[in-house]
Structure 1
């Protein structure tokens, strides 16, 4: 029984390492990177259960993807607007290394839910770490969800600077 468990763990590690090595070895200029995710609104005035599970999608939010090279020069910049379900889909068909890419929130058109939060990493940006799927020349990354909240939930500035 223990031997089978060790073999199963070893096999899963080998498969994971192969997937990781393939994603990290970006030498082909014709690879396409898809980055998908969701933008939601959390209402801090609700109960804890509704705050956690009752987030609503926001249509029209803008999410950006920035990819740089090893010398910190911008090699790709693009953005996408969310649909009715709060989903975005960014595509990079230019040669770039996803290890140097990050996605972040830009703005929300909803006046009742337009304060960025870093819950999910949307305010400061999220690096593309592990692909969720690799198929031929397409690498998919699913990130987020990113969250906005209402202006009444914004933390006040108590630093005392005028």
Structure 2
């Protein structure tokens, strides 16, 4: 009798495994939410202050513009959006999940600074790739209809803080 129970238990496990394998093959394609949002902050760093104030007390820049460009799977730009920062220097760019039948993936998008809202603090830095562009990768919120990614914070600085390489700098290390 014990042998029959073990056999039927083993048979039940085989059936469950076969059904699970069949369901895995027939599952729905990966879910793409209808929209995703990219959020971050733009701040001003003042190099004329002491180190702690420069490094840790950057002030928000309202009215700055951050842009996003997304490519399709063939590398063609299919979407461009932007948003201006609010009074706290925060931006939220809403991106549709599909454009002209193409799925837009955050991994094929590039977010970067487009304009500073403060003329006195308008030199883009590349800290957190604000000038060169950053791919949204930090997923911070997921719901059935939306995903949110965080980027930055991005920084601008004062013109006198902008350090440019000169030809004389090449001779220093030789």
Tell me the TM-score normalized by structure 2.
0.73
Pick which of 151-160 and 52-61 moved more: 151-160
CA offsets 1:111-162 (integer angstroms, 9 cap, x no match): 21000001121000110123111111211001110000000001134148xx
Unaligned 5+ segments in structure 2 are: 1-28, 99-103, 169-174
Equivalent runs, 1:80-159 vs 2, <5 Å: 80-95=83-98, 96-159=104-167
Q: Distance in 2 between matches of 1:61 and 1:122?
A: 12
- Cα distance, 1:72 vs structure 2: 1.2
Q: How many residues align?
A: 135
TM-score using structure 1 length: 0.78
For residues 46-65 of structure 1, the aligned pairs below 5 Å read 46-65=49-68
Equivalents in 2 of 1:37, 1:156: separation in Å? Answer: 27
What are structure 1's unaligned runs of at least 5 residues? 1-24
* Alignment correspondent of 2:69: 66
- Residue deviations 1:56-75, cap 9 Å, x none? 00011110011101221012
Alignment root-mean-square deviation, CA: 1.6
State the match for 2:15 in structure 1. none
CA distance in 2, matches of 1:131, 1:42: 26
Paired residues of 1:26 and 1:97 also in contact (CA < 8 A): no
Rg (Cα) greater in structure? 2
Identify if the C-alpha distance between structure 1 residues 111 and 26 changes in structure 2 by more than 3 Å, giving closer, same or farther. Answer: farther
